[in-house]
Chain A
Amino acid sequence: MFQQFNDWYKNRHEYAKEWKERTGGKVIGYFCTYVPEEILYAANILPVRILGSHEPQDVSEPHIFAMFCPFCRDCLAQGLKGRYDYLDGIMIAQSCLHIRQAYTSWDLHIPVDFKYYLPHPMHLQSPHAVPYLTEELKTFKKAVEEWTGKQITNDDLKRGIEIMNSNRQLLQQVYELRKNPNPPLTGLEAMYMVVSSQMTDKREHNKALEELLQKLPSRNLDNPGERLMILGSEDDDTEFVAMVEDLGARFVIDEHCTGTRYFNTEVDVNEDLLASIAERYIKRIPCPSKDWPQRIRLDYILKLAKEYDVKGAIIMQMKFCDPHELDTVAIKKALEKNLNIQTLFLEFDVTVPIGQFKTRVEAFLEIIREEDLF
């Protein structure tokens, strides 16, 4: 049932090349989920998120100091190794310092036709963030128009918004099923499903989701075991998720930018379409780098934990990822003290030490199971 998503995820480059050939369209690689894909879809451009390959670092060292997160270095490595040689452009919306370096080093060393650094507010809780971003989106739209030689009309923007919103709605519908006592999908399947949406044409992805939703409610899986949440830094470590679920537990919800944080808020369409898009990116559940002075993200995590009836949470901390390190202590405390949910903190690299993690997860599950017994 999820094979298509799995195939898209694993064959992302082949897919994008084939898409280009089939449609004659341009492909843009983007580095952060604050990139307004609506505008790219409006311009008939395929946005694909640049992700790493989970291989040991061997080419990025001269370009990014090793104290920056392995994920940003892994992303750059993909470019240096020529795996994204089909990209017509790259872009980033300003978020954390780490991923910014993947973009800037790519800009310096890997030629592409179009490059765009989208200034993006970090003070999302300020009333001035939406007007500021709206102006930036106007400038960005103009840059895309100049690059493609084609004007982006209001109808185009509406289409872009519709494509993105449909995807968000469909993903949310699938996620609602994960609230069931026996969710009809695994955490691994959910991860393939969401991450693949970041690298395929959303119109095709939406179609696959619609088909999935026809069949999914009647699907019966084995007893889910312990209901877990996974949260933290960028994470598409399918091997880790599979390992945990093989131990008899089930991830029923996530809080990752490769998961709920990516699709959780829709564009509420108002008269000014760019302002509507801006508002969505300001109001979505924030990346920790933009989550201040109040902790919006923390409340969201607690809400998810309650709604999905979570018994344990695994906090995945990408090594050296400062923004998440600045949230972890508060999250751990709140989950344990406010909701009495056990947590397991794991610091990971792009390569996951699966054996060591397995031992720690087994111990974690034993703790939860003991609590269930007594």
Chain B
Amino acid sequence: MARVELKNINKIYDKKVTAISDANIVIEDQEFAILVGPSGCGKSTLLRMIAGLESITSGDLLIDGVRVNDLAPKDRDIAMVFQNYALYPHMTVFDNMAFGLKLRKTPKKEIKERVHHAAEILGLTDLLKRRPKAMSGGQRQRVAIGRAIVRQPKVFLFDEPLSNLDAKLRVQMRTEIKRLHKQLETTIIYVTHDQTEAMTMGNKIIVLDKGLIQQIDSPMRLYNFPANQFVAGFIGSPNMNFIEGKIEKGNRILFKSPDITFSIPENLETLASNFLNQEIILGFRPESIYDQNNENVAWLTEKVKIEIDVIEPIGAETFIYFQANGNDICMRTTSNKEYYTGQSIHIGFDTTRLYFFDKKTGSILR
């Protein structure tokens, strides 16, 4: 029931340090929006501005078309789940959840109903009389979510809620929060530094770096069509590989670099010819590299010889690392072939999955 809109939002600390510059975001009703980026990118600041915990230097923040810049947090009809849960240690689970409602003078009977309902959804019914100290991290996290649910807010804000949990629990809570989103049918804005969390949970991802919005898109579009080198490198695990090189004209148009040189495939020739004799950055994902001797794939570039440096067999797949122009390049293969260190193989790149980036600005060349 809520549409959140950020218009030209800026955050400048002490008139000097710019934390967020010119953020424009629209989050539709019932969307699961993720703010993602490395630490210090401004994602938490942005969330805290939406919550009202941080003032907005300039720009407009609208919730359902109403400007809420000057409203106190409690009047914005939002609820927030904190990284370290921020449960009131002296209150029971019930009181933790009921606290906000009590302050709003909700009738006692209704408080009870709402808390019990939320407890049921989250499987906390048996724990209502406990105090936070006597609970596990996962249970505390649920209470924190429960505290948000009972308020029935327009917007849920999550500030890295899973980062204090161990890996296994994190995966479990991920699905649980997703399910909850479906059940509650509300807008969620979720901050994380973990790109896997972002990809798996959100349906709109806002990638931030150094206070600037890099790209806003769906998970798959972010992966397949990154707007710039930062997004390309940030989204996906292992990271996209980058190598610097030059576009040159031989018989055909060439990508030329000390260790890796190949003819630009036909589908990219027109694009590449715009950058003749210019330095560019070539990007390709680990899974877009194939072993030419072993795998038969139709749309590969011509052969490039490399020497295997490190092998990491995972089981279903194998990561192969080699050096190119002084960079570690990662290749991922699903073949069952046994490789060995020092082995020379011929690789080829998936011609449909090559990205060119401007060396100076980092933006994608299209």
Tell whether A pairs with B: no
User: Which residues of A come within 8 Å of B, CB atoms?
Assistant: none
List chain B positions with a Cβ less than 8 A from chain A: none
